[in-house]
Every structure is written in C-alpha cells, then in structure tokens.
C-alpha cells in the first residue's frame, strides 16, 4: 500500500514542492489509519458478540465464551471490552471470580480514560494479575511467546520444535501445545499405555513413522510431527479433530463421528485448542486422502 501510494504521488508532489519523504509519510499515515479503523470495527464486532453470549441475547448464555470474546476485543484496545470482561471477573458472572484478573482489565480501560473502570479499581484492589493467555497475539504461530517464557531446561526443546516443525508443514505452536499436553516437556515420560517420550508415541505409531529411538528428543519430535502432518491432511486442518485423534486415535474420531465422548480426550482437545488459539491449520492434501467420515462429522456438528 505504501509503495503504490508513494509511486502515485511521485510526479505531482515534486511539482508542488512536496518532498518524496513527505509523500511516503502521508501514505504510511493513511495506511495506519485504515488499519486502525479496521481494528476498531473488529473489536466492536467481537464486543457485540460477547455481550450477546453474556446476556443470552439470541444465543444460549455462555459466560466463558463471552469472556473469551471480550478479551479478544480487549487485546485490540477496546476500552469498553476491557471494562466488561473486568466486570465479569469482579462479579463472578459466568466465570470464576478473580479480583486480580478484574484489576488487570480495569487498569487497561482506566488508562484509556474509562471512568467506570477507574472507579472499579477501588473495589477490586491494586494487585494486578499477570498478562492472561487471551491477551497474547493469536497469530504468534511460531510460539515465540512460549519460548520467551520457558525456563532454560525447556527452551532447548522448544527451539528444537521451532526448527523442525516447519519441515513438516506444522506450525511450531501446535507442536508445542501437543508436547505440553502429552509429556509436559519430559523426554523420558512413559504413560500407563506405554506411550513414550516428548510427544508420547505408542510403539505402533513409532513403527508407523520410523522412530527407532523414541526417547531421543529429536527423533521423537520428528515422529510426532509426521503424525500431526498426516492427521492434518486426514481431517483437513480441523485442529479439534486432529487433537482428538492424536489422543484417542483417528479410528475413534471416525467411529464417534467427532470428538469421542471420553472425558480425557475432551479435556485434551480443549487444552490444545486453547494453547494453539486457532481452529484451523493449513494442510498438505497430497499426504493422504481425507477421512471418509469427515463430511458426516461436519454435518453432525452443524446440527
């Protein structure tokens, strides 16, 4: 945008005595204004949707979803959304009461001149919670925030994931979420079902993806990434189905035509989706044919 705008001004601005640098600055400012307007419009849409879920207006009341949507709008700088999600946490409305988290959001809104938020800070106290997960950039698919926050003993594993994942067409953040949920970064982990290593490969999966040394961090990660790449193609990038299949097997997902009704699997899927923060992931259709049940799964979901 900047380049084309500046090129369009080049001839005329010199005749008017306006330096090229000024034209570029003008174009940059115009682009920034457009981006800010688009961001404000998105925040307003998210806030409106959140309010509907908070009050059950046209949709079933869902406090957790309302808080999540408010937080997305809050991340975009919407002071009213910052106040609203703070109010939910201050009053325990649809979410567990948390004064420190409420104070975090009220403080954000108050800094933008929101008078009611400033007033609420007197009631919830001045102890602010740390930055909540929903305030992180959801497009950080490389997981740079995860690496930055990790203790030194985990950082080497995360950096290895960051290097290897793109080779398999997998976003590092998704692989990091799986490792965290599977082994909590313990390369020597063994489950009661004999799942092994960082990405908890059962012997059959290790054999399927040619993993000879499942407790070797790099080889284990490569095997898990190969399986994720296959699952992403099999379920056409549907992150929830991929997570369910990684935990319970693709056969179980096909059999139940969706996420199996196992408490462990449902909790696992929730953790992966929350950590990855996206519902869809790009996939390579040449890896495998899609699940023969995928159309039925999507039909059941839409009902």
Tens digits of residue pLDDT in 133-159: 777 665 678 888 788 888 888 999 999
Rg (CA), the chain: 24
Q: Who wins on pLDDT, 294 or 21? A: 294
What average pLDDT is seen over the chain?
86
pLDDT at 290 over 50: yes
Q: Is 280 exposed, middle or buried (0-12, 13-18, 19+ CB in 10 A)?
A: exposed
- What pLDDT, on a 0 to 100 scale, did the predictor assign at position 9? 35
CA 167/CA 226 separation, integer angstroms = 10
- What pLDDT, on a 0 to 100 scale, did the predictor assign at position 5? 36
- In 3D space, the residue among 282, 290, 292, 283 whose CA is nearest the CA of residue 235 turns out to be 290
pLDDT band at 303 (very low <50, low <70, confident <90, very high): low
CATH superfamily of 2-134: Tetratricopeptide repeat domain (1.25.40.10)
First-to-last alpha carbon distance for the chain, in angstroms, is 42
Tell me what percent of the residues of the chain surpass a pLDDT of 70: 86
DSSP string, 199-210: TTB-HHHHHHTT
pLDDT band at 11 (very low <50, low <70, confident <90, very high): very low
- What pLDDT, on a 0 to 100 scale, did the predictor assign at position 28? 43
Q: Measured on CA atoms in the order 144, 206, 200, 233, is the torsion positive or negative?
A: positive
pLDDT at 291 over 90: yes
pLDDT at 45 over 70: yes
Listed in sequence order, the residues at least 6 apart from 199 whose beta carbon sits closer than 8 Å to its beta carbon are 175, 178, 179, 182, 183, 220, 221, 223, 224, 225, 227
**What residues pair up with 268 in beta bridges, in sequence order?**
none
CATH architecture of structural domain 144-302 = Orthogonal Bundle (1.10)
Q: Tokens standing for 178?
A: 């799986």
DSSP string, 98-114: -HHHHHHHHHHHHHTT-
Domain map of the chain by residue range? 2-134, 144-302
Q: Are 252 and 212 in contact (CB under 8 A)?
A: no
In the predicted model, what is the mean pLDDT of residues 207-232?
A: 97
pLDDT band at 47 (very low <50, low <70, confident <90, very high): very high
pLDDT band at 59 (very low <50, low <70, confident <90, very high): confident
pLDDT band at 31 (very low <50, low <70, confident <90, very high): very low
- What pLDDT, on a 0 to 100 scale, did the predictor assign at position 76? 86
Supply the residues annotated as catalytic.
Answer: 182
CA 240/CA 221 separation, integer angstroms = 20
Q: Tokens standing for 64?
A: 């957790």
Tens digits of residue pLDDT in 95-128: 999 999 999 999 999 999 999 999 998 888 878 8
- What pLDDT, on a 0 to 100 scale, did the predictor assign at position 260? 96
How is residue 130 annotated by DSSP? P
Tens digits of residue pLDDT in 156-183: 999 999 999 999 999 999 999 999 999 9
Listed in sequence order, the residues at least 6 apart from 91 whose beta carbon sits closer than 8 Å to its beta carbon are 97
Tens digits of residue pLDDT in 187-205: 999 999 999 999 999 999 9
Counting Cα atoms < 13 Å in the Cβ hemisphere of 127 gives 4
CA 52/CA 68 separation, integer angstroms = 13
- What pLDDT, on a 0 to 100 scale, did the predictor assign at position 105? 93
- What pLDDT, on a 0 to 100 scale, did the predictor assign at position 17? 47
- What pLDDT, on a 0 to 100 scale, did the predictor assign at position 302? 67
Q: What backbone torsions phi and psi does residue 285 show, to the nearest 5 degrees? A: -65, -15
* Number of residues in the chain: 303
- What pLDDT, on a 0 to 100 scale, did the predictor assign at position 26? 45
Counting Cα atoms < 13 Å in the Cβ hemisphere of 216 gives 9
């Amino acid at each position: 945008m900047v380049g084309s705008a500046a090129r369009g001004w080049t001839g005329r601005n010199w005749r008017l005595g306006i330096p090229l640098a000024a034209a570029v600055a003008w174009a940059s400012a115009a682009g920034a204004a457009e981006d800010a307007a688009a961001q404000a419009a998105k925040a307003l849409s998210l806030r409106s949707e959140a309010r509907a879920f908070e009050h059950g207006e046209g949709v079933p009341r869902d406090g957790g979803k309302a808080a999540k949507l408010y937080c997305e709008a809050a991340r975009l700088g919407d002071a009213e959304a910052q106040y609203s999600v703070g109010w939910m946490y201050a009053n325990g409305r649809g979410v567990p009461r948390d004064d420190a988290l409420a104070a975090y959001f009220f403080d954000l809104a108050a800094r933008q001149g929101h008078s009611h938020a400033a007033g609420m800070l007197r009631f919830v106290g001045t102890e602010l919670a740390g930055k909540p997960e929903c305030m992180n950039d959801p497009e950080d698919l490389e997981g740079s925030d995860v690496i930055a926050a990790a203790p030194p003993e985990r950082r080497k594993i995360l950096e290895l994931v960051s290097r290897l994942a793109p080779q398999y067409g997998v976003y590092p953040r998704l692989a990091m979420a799986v490792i965290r949920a599977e082994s909590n970064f313990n390369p020597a982990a063994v489950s009661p079902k004999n799942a092994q290593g960082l990405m908890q490969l059962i012997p059959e999966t290790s054999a399927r993806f040619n993993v000879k040394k499942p407790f070797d961090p790099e080889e284990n990660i490569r095997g898990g990434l190969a399986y994720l790449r296959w699952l992403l193609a099999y379920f056409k990038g549907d992150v929830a189905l991929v997570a369910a299949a990684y935990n319970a097997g693709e056969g179980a997902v096909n059999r139940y035509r969706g996420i199996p009704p196992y408490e462990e699997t449902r909790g696992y899927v929730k953790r992966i989706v929350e950590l990855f923060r996206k519902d869809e992931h790009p996939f390579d259709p040449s890896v495998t044919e899609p699940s023969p049940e995928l159309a039925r799964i999507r039909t059941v979901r839409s009902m």
